[in-house]
Structure formats: structure tokens, C-alpha cells
């Protein structure tokens, strides 16, 4: 009896260990997320996407679950949300603000823009899922030798395990060229693939049918506020088997005794544009499915990998390898902050690029608050486009990490918003041009939402248009600039009309507005001339001034903006030595707010430089120190970029450590971090933090915003040896570089556009081959490197506790030829 019990006990332990034992471990340099157990929840599932359709893969042996998304499944129907009642109240709101009666101004504004949507308006529509595909495998509950991964070098997820001595494998991807999701099921014993396919959806209006060898889920998006859900969607599933058979029973499909099965999933909606729902979702889904199922799996897989890698392979990053790579990703995450795992930072950097490629492709919608992945009918913040930081952060890696094509969906949305935003500019502000507030959705709404405290911020268009100008600075694409110039001009025209003269200093300011989502000493958000507003308007006007010169057009309009730009408030250093967040010196050193809006001028803009305005540079650091490190996930992602711009690599790395910490419990109000699947946690999940950290790591290695290409500007002690290839600097320069002991050892620069290449380096450089490398003098002659000509700041305090010492750099100039590559000797 004792021996039997002992044998049973040992057998149980063996089964438990074999389930968690890794059947295979990735190669030491592999870019994979891998795990020893299935996903227990959505934040452990692995994301697949091709820009338009996505899936979250759970990997459970007995029942695989793919949670499905299609980018245009949103609640509601076409239409804007213009709040015309605000217009009549604007003069009084402005008067109250200028008289210092901010609470009264906020109360009046709240009457016009209440916290809950008025009956005749809506506050934006939520992004919604399609549904779930379940694949059930009888008898697979007692699986052993379990392993699952996401290979971000191929954009393929896989699962493997054993049942009764048979090894089962699943391979899944969202095909870029074929525009379907594909699941391949195999086993190392013939006729072992037996499973049931069924579908479900959280929508109220949906139906599932099965006929012959196809499973079809049809539905309609939800009703929200006063908007009827009118997006019709359909998902079609069709398996192809080798051996065995497929049959339909009770709205399910049965695969029985197959050697192999390849399951194709197509999805489509009736959406054609933000104002047109005349598409045929069933017809489109059927066409995609028919085209894909005619092709050989091997060829489809090869072309998928090729289509993905043409983007992904442009950039490589090696920060070193330690034994930590032998651990599953969730265990590496848990140990990162206290361990030595530079490869995880490189993996996280590349995972951000993977997510951008997978959620934003030419011709698709831009990545929303959750990319394209969402399992909820009412997701957090509706998974919309929040444009007071989050949407912009999604695209910070696009140019610098060599993914400019991924930027295109954002430009298309901005173009749409320049159309719908004309209505909000005219009806709400009596202004020319176009504007929007802090949120939009599939229908391109531009009115304020969520009440006056959060929503009365008319600066969304100002921030979004910076991406247009930055794309031009990186690519030099004049055709693109010409096409988008009316959008830039419309944004500038709006601010030219709405700027008001404040009574004390006669500065021109935006009013009413706010420093996004933060309150000042009056306990309200409403204000005039906040620092971020002034920085944004400065950039909007400057972009038109430079664009008119580049395109040789609109000189009179540009000159008028130059005059108005000169009357914007200067940045101010306040009583604590901080960069003031508001026009008044209201900052509190203990303010730990997640937004650091007044530091927009440091990043992503280029208005704060240690070389031209060290007093602002030091003040920005003081403000960032006061704000603290740990915060929401996306806030920490922003701070990685800010500390990189402050040339403090160790502090930037600390923020990466904070971000790569297992996420807290959102329901308990715990802080941000990262989920086991490396999704960023606000919490809950927001994808912007992933993108922010990826761009931040790039900024630590190469910067090009401040008049030159700056090599290793913020290298932390933890990354003293490494190599990066393919990062992009403004002016179309591609940088390949390796370093040892914190010093550059090899450097290659490819010039796509030609022109002067100015390099800021800690080490002496020598050019190998043709060309003349000389000491830089004066301003950079390259037009893509014009520095911000800001006003002299007002300084009230020069507190020296955070003075930033700027290391001496050697600055070189090299005249380059278009499409030529230059190698340097160190």
C-alpha cells in the first residue's frame, strides 16, 4: 500500500513537472516570447495581427481560444459630436479665466460640456471585438512537455505538447499578403487530429451558422448613447485537412482523424470610410477566404514571413546575452529589475516594433489605445484614439526605428479629421481651419468629451500635425509635404483665429484650455496659455513657416504666423527652479501627475536644448524629478524618452526597469508595469507604453533633434557593450554602430538624401574612403536640422540642485551624396 501510494505520488509529481517542462528552448539570440504554460487570461495571451485583423492566442491544449478583432468593428454610426452650445459661452468663460475666476469658468464650461454626454450628443464610440474561435481537442486535458511562443522575427505563434506519447503542434499567424488568420494543426502520429470548432461573440446581435466545411459568425456592432450600431461584420472559418474528414453539426465543425489541418479565418465589415457603410461584409470575407484556401500553406507561410521581415529586419539591436534568456519570458520579467538581462530590453524594444507592424499597415486604421487587440464590448476608455498623448505615443517609434510606412494610417486619419474638424472649428470657435479635442474614434469625431475638466482642450490637431512635419524631416518627401500642406495650414489657421490677448503681458494665448487632465491650485483644470499649449502653437506656426519655404508657397500667411509666434508666451522657470506647467507659477513639487505635458518641449519637440538654453534644460530636469518615476505604464514610457533627452542614460534605464516590472492589480489601484505577454499596463492594458519605451530606447542610442546626429547620448552603465543597426536620423541618415566600454567602436552612416551630415560624438572620428570630415562650424546647413528659435525664457529661480552637466562633445560635418554609405574609423 505504501509503495503504491508513493508510486502514485511520484507519478503525479512527474506529470506536473512534465507539463511545465520546456519541450524546446529558444536559441540564445532568438527574439521570442515563450512560456511553459497556457495563458490563464487575456493579458497572458499572445497577439497576432496584420494591421487590419488580429487575434489573441491562449494556447490551452484541451481548448485553443483565438479572440478575434477586425479594426473597423466599432459601436455607432457615422456622425460628429459638435457641441454648439459652447460657442455662446466662450466670451464669458474667457473673461472669468483672465480675471482669475477659474472655478467659476470651469463651472460654466461644465454646463456646456457636462461629464455625461447630453441626449443630443455622444462622447465617442468604443472599439469592439468580433468574437472568439474555440478549437476543442478531446482527451488533451493531461498534456505534458508544454511549450508556447511568439516568434517576433517571423510574426508566428506556436504551441506544442504531448498527449499519450503523441506530440501535437499548432502554428498560427495573421497573414500580411493574404489578409486571413491561419492555424495549422499537426501531430507526429497519423490520424491524430480530432477537434471541434465553434464560435461565440459578446455582441447582443450575432448569429453562428455551420454548413458543410464552413463556420460563419455574423453580427452588428453595439448601440451607445444616441448612436445605433451599424457596423455589420462577418467572420468565416474553413478548415482544410489531409486525411480524415470535416463535417458540420449543430453550428460547429468537426475534424475527425486527420493527419493535418489548416484552418483559415477571414473577417470583414461593411465599413468603407468614416462616412460610408455601404460595403458588403459577407462578400469581402468570402473573397478573402476563397483566395487563401486555393494556395499552398507552405507558400502562404513563406510570403507572410517575407512581407513581415521586409519591415522588421531593418533594425537590429544587440545589448548582450546572459543566462537569463534560458528562462521563460514571464520569469524573466519578474527578475528584470533586480537581475542582469540586457537581452530582455532588446526583446522589448523589438516587441514594440512588432506591435506597430502588426497593428498599423498602409491602408488600415491607425493603432488605437489597444492597437487592434480588444476582447471587451466596453473596453477601458473605449479603446479610442486619445490624442492628448496616447495616440501620438503609438507612433513615436515609426520614423526613428525605420518603420515610416506604419505612419501612413495616422496621416490618413489626420486628413479625415481635417475634414470633420472644420465643423468644430467653425461652429464651436468661429474659426477658420480645423481643430479637435482630446479624443476621436472611427467616425472621426472632433468635439469635446468626458466633461470640461478633461475635454475642453482644443489642441488635438496641433499635436497630431507634428507627426506630418516629423515624417518630412526624416524622409525629405516633398510630395508628401505638398499633399499634407493644406492639413498643416488648416491647423495653423485655427490657432491664428482663436488666440486671445491676455491682459497682463499682452501675450497671445489659447483660452480656454488646460494642461491635459491636471488641475492647478484652484482645484480645476481650465486655464489660459498653459506651457504645453504655447509649445504646441509654436511648433504649428514654425512648421508652416518652414514648409512654406520648402515648397516656395504661402509667404504672406507664413509671415503673419511669424508675427503671431513672436507674441506667444515664453517658457518660464518658476520659484522652485522648475519649468512652469502653467502661465502662472502654480507648480507643486509633490505633484506626481501621470501627464508631464509641459515637457512636450523637451520630448517629442526640440524646443529645450542643453546647448542653446541650459536654464530650460535644468528646469525641465527639476520638473521631471518632482514628477517622480513610477506611474502608469505609458507615463513611464514617456519618461524614458524624457530622461534620454536629458542625457541621463542611467535614469532612463531605471524607468525601463520600472516599466518592465510585473503589473499591479488595476482593481486595487496599483501602479503600472508590464503584463506577462509584455503588454504595457496602465493598468489596465494600453499599448502606448510599449511604443513609448521602444522609442525611448532608440533615443538613448541615437538622437537627431538638436542640430546634429548625437551618438550614444544616454547610454546607461548596464549597456556598456552593444550594437545597433538601422536606426534613422533626420535628413534620411541611417546609422549602424557598435560600442565597447561605453565608447563607439564602429560607425557606418548611409545617406538617403545627401546633404550635410553633422555628427556629435564623444570620440574622435576619421572617415574611411572618399569625403572630407571637418570640425563643424556655425548652424547646420542641412535644412532638416533647423533648431527651434524660441524666445528667451523668463527665469524666477536658478535653483542649482538639479544642474545638468553636459559632457563635451566633438562635432563633425560631412558633405554626403545621396544613396552613398560612409564608414568611420575610431
User: Can you spell out the DSSP letters for 208-221?
Assistant: EEEETTEEEEEEEP
Q: pLDDT tens, 17-64?
A: 334 333 444 544 589 999 999 999 999 999 999 999 999 999 999 999
Nearest CA to 689 among 443, 367, 413? Answer: 367
Nearest CA to 300 among 416, 434, 156? Answer: 156
Map residue 781 onto helix, strand or coil. Answer: coil
Question: What pLDDT is stored for residue 10 in this prediction?
Answer: 37
Question: What pLDDT is stored for residue 120 in this prediction?
Answer: 83
Which letter does DSSP use for residue 627 in this model?
H
Which letter does DSSP use for residue 582 in this model?
S
Question: What pLDDT is stored for residue 5 in this prediction?
Answer: 39
Question: What pLDDT is stored for residue 606 in this prediction?
Answer: 98
10 Å CB burial of residue 454 (0-12, 13-18, 19+) is buried
Rg of the chain, C-alpha, whole Å: 28
Cβ(409)–Cβ(361) under 8 Å? yes
Torsion from C-alpha of 616, 621, 625, 626, nearest 10 degrees: 10
Question: What pLDDT is stored for residue 769 in this prediction?
Answer: 87
Low-confidence residues of the chain: pLDDT under 70: 1-29, 665-670, 799-808
Residue for cell digits 522589448? 348
Give the list of residues 6+ apart from residue 706 with CB closer than 8 angstroms, or none. Answer: 606, 609, 611, 787
Cβ(182)–Cβ(292) under 8 Å? yes
Question: What pLDDT is stored for residue 667 in this prediction?
Answer: 52
Name the maximum alpha-carbon separation found in the chain: 98
Give the list of residues 6+ apart from residue 616 with CB closer than 8 angstroms, or none. Answer: 571, 573, 579, 601, 607, 608, 609, 793
Nearest CA to 235 among 272, 273, 291, 282? Answer: 282
Question: What pLDDT is stored for residue 198 in this prediction?
Answer: 99
Cβ(652)–Cβ(640) under 8 Å? yes
The H-or-E segment that residue 48 falls in is strand 46-49
Give the whole-angstrom CA distance, residue 342 versus residue 250. Answer: 52
Q: pLDDT tens, 633-677?
A: 999 999 999 999 999 999 999 999 999 999 975 556 567 899 999
Question: What pLDDT is stored for residue 826 in this prediction?
Answer: 85
Residue for cell digits 572620428? 765
Nearest-5° Cα angle at 372, 681 to 369: 45
Which letter does DSSP use for residue 620 in this model?
H
Nearest CA to 809 among 647, 628, 692? Answer: 647
Nearest CA to 268 among 278, 255, 279? Answer: 279
In this structure, how many other beta carbons lie within 10 angstroms of the beta carbon of residue 477? 15
Going along the chain from its start, the domains and CATH numbers come out as: 44-75+128-312 (2.70.98.50)
Helices (H) and strands (E) in the chain, counts: 19, 35
Determine if residue 673 is left, alpha or beta; phi over 0 gives left, psi from -120 to 50 gives alpha, anything else beta.
left
Question: What pLDDT is stored for residue 596 in this prediction?
Answer: 97
Amino acid at each position: 500500500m505504501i509503495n503504491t501510494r508513493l508510486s502514485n505520488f511520484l507519478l503525479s509529481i512527474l506529470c506536473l513537472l512534465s507539463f511545465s517542462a520546456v519541450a524546446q528552448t529558444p536559441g540564445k539570440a532568438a527574439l521570442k516570447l515563450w512560456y511553459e504554460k497556457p495563458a490563464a487570461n487575456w493579458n497572458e495571451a499572445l497577439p497576432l495581427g496584420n494591421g487590419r485583423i488580429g487575434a489573441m492566442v491562449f494556447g490551452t491544449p484541451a481548448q485553443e481560444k483565438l479572440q478575434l478583432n477586425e479594426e473597423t468593428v466599432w459601436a455607432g454610426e457615422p456622425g460628429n459630436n459638435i457641441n454648439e452650445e459652447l460657442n455662446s459661452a466662450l466670451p464669458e468663460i474667457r473673461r472669468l479665466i483672465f480675471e482669475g475666476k477659474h472655478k467659476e469658468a470651469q463651472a460654466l464650461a461644465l454646463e456646456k460640456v457636462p461629464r455625461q454626454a447630453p441626449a443630443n450628443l455622444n462622447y465617442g464610440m468604443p472599439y469592439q471585438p468580433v468574437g472568439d474561435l474555440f478549437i476543442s481537442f478531446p482527451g488533451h486535458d493531461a498534456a505534458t512537455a508544454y511549450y508556447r511562443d511568439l516568434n517576433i522575427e517571423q510574426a508566428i505563434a506556436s504551441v506544442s505538447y504531448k498527449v499519450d506519447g503523441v506530440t501535437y503542434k499548432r502554428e498560427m499567424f495573421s497573414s500580411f499578403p493574404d489578409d486571413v488568420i491561419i492555424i495549422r494543426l499537426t501531430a507526429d502520429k497519423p490520424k491524430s487530429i480530432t477537434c471541434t470548432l465553434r464560435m461565440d461573440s459578446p455582441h447582443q446581435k450575432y448569429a453562428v451558422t455551420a454548413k458543410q466545411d464552413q463556420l460563419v459568425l455574423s453580427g452588428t456592432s453595439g448601440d451607445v448613447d444616441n448612436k445605433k450600431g451599424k457596423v455589420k461584420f462577418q467572420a468565416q472559418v474553413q478548415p482544410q485537412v489531409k486525411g480524415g474528414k470535416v463535417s458540420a453539426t449543430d453550428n460547429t465543425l468537426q475534424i475527425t482523424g486527420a493527419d493535418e489541418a489548416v484552418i483559415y479565418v477571414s473577417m470583414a465589415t461593411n465599413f468603407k470610410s468614416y462616412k460610408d457603410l455601404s460595403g458588403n461584409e459577407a462578400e469581402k470575407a468570402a473573397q478573402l477566404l476563397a483566395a487563401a484556401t486555393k494556395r499552398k500553406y507552405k507558400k502562404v507561410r513563406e510570403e507572410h514571413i517575407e512581407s513581415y521581415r521586409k519591415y522588421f529586419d531593418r533594425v537590429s539591436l544587440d545589448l548582450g546575452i546572459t543566462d537569463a534568456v534560458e528562462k521563460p519570458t514571464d520569469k524573466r520579467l519578474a527578475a528584470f529589475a533586480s537581475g542582469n538581462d540586457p537581452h530582455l530590453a532588446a526583446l522589448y524594444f523589438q516587441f514594440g516594433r512588432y506591435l506597430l507592424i502588426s497593428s498599423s499597415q498602409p491602408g488600415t486604421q491607425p493603432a488605437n489605445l489597444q492597437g487592434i487587440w480588444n476582447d471587451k464590448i466596453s473596453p477601458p476608455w473605449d479603446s479610442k484614439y486619445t490624442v492628448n498623448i496616447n495616440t501620438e505615443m503609438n507612433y513615436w517609434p515609426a520614423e526613428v526605428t525605420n518603420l515610416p510606412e506604419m505612419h501612413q494610417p495616422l496621416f490618413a486619419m489626420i486628413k479625415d479629421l481635417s475634414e470633420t474638424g472644420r465643423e468644430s472649428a467653425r461652429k464651436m470657435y468661429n474659426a477658420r481651419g480645423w481643430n479637435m479635442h482630446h479624443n476621436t474614434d472611427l467616425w472621426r469625431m472632433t468635439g469635446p468629451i468626458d466633461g470640461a475638466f478633461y475635454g475642453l482642450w482644443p489642441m488635438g490637431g496641433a499635436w497630431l500635425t507634428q507627426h506630418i512635419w516629423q515624417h518630412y524631416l526624416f524622409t525629405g518627401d516633398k510630395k508628401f509635404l505638398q499633399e499634407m500642406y493644406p492639413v498643416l495650414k488648416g491647423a495653423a489657421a485655427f490657432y491664428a483665429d482663436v488666440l486671445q490677448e491676455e491682459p497682463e503681458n499682452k501675450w497671445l494665448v489659447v483660452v480656454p484650455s488646460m494642461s491635459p487632465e491636471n488641475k492647478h491650485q484652484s482645484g480645476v483644470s481650465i486655464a489660459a496659455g498653459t506651457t504645453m499649449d504655447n509649445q504646441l502653437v509654436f511648433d504649428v506656426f514654425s512648421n508652416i513657416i518652414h514648409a512654406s519655404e520648402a515648397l516656395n508657397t504661402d509667404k504672406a500667411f507664413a509671415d503673419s504666423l511669424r508675427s503671431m509666434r513672436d507674441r506667444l508666451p515664453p517658457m518660464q522657470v518658476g520659484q522652485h527652479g522648475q519649468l512652469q506647467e502653467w502661465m502662472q507659477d502654480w507648480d507643486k513639487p509633490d505633484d506626481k501627475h501621470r501627464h508631464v505635458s509641459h515637457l512636450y518641449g523637451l520630448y517629442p519637440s526640440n524646443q529645450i536644448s542643453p546647448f542653446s538654453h541650459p536654464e530650460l534644460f535644468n528646469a525641465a530636469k527639476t520638473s521631471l524629478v518632482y514628477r517622480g518615476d513610477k506611474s502608469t505604464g505609458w507615463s513611464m514610457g514617456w519618461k524614458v524618452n524624457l530622461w534620454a533627452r536629458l542625457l541621463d542614460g542611467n535614469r532612463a534605464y531605471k524607468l525601463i526597469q520600472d516599466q518592465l516590472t510585473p503589473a499591479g492589480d488595476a482593481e486595487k489601484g496599483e501602479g503600472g508595469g508590464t503584463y506577462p505577454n509584455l503588454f504595457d499596463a496602465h493598468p489596465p492594458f494600453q499599448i502606448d507604453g510599449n511604443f513609448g519605451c521602444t522609442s525611448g530606447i532608440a533615443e538613448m542610442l541615437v538622437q537627431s533633434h538638436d542640430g546634429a546626429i548625437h551618438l550614444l547620448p544616454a547610454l546607461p552603465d548596464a549597456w556598456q557593450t552593444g550594437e545597433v543597426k538601422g536606426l534613422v536620423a533626420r535628413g534620411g541618415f541611417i546609422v549602424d554602430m557598435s560600442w565597447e566600454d561605453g565608447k563607439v567602436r564602429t560607425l557606418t552612416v548611409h545617406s538617403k538624401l545627401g546633404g550635410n551630415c553633422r555628427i556629435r560624438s564623444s570620440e574622435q572620428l576619421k572617415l574611411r574612403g572618399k569625403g572630407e570630415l571637418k570640425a563643424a562650424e556655425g548652424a547646420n546647413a542641412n535644412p532638416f536640422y533647423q533648431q527651434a528659435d524660441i524666445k528667451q525664457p523668463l527665469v524666477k529661480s536658478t535653483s542649482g540642485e538639479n544642474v545638468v552637466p553636459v559632457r563635451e562633445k566633438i562635432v563633425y560635418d560631412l558633405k554626403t551624396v545621396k544613396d552613398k554609405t560612409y564608414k568611420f574609423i575610431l
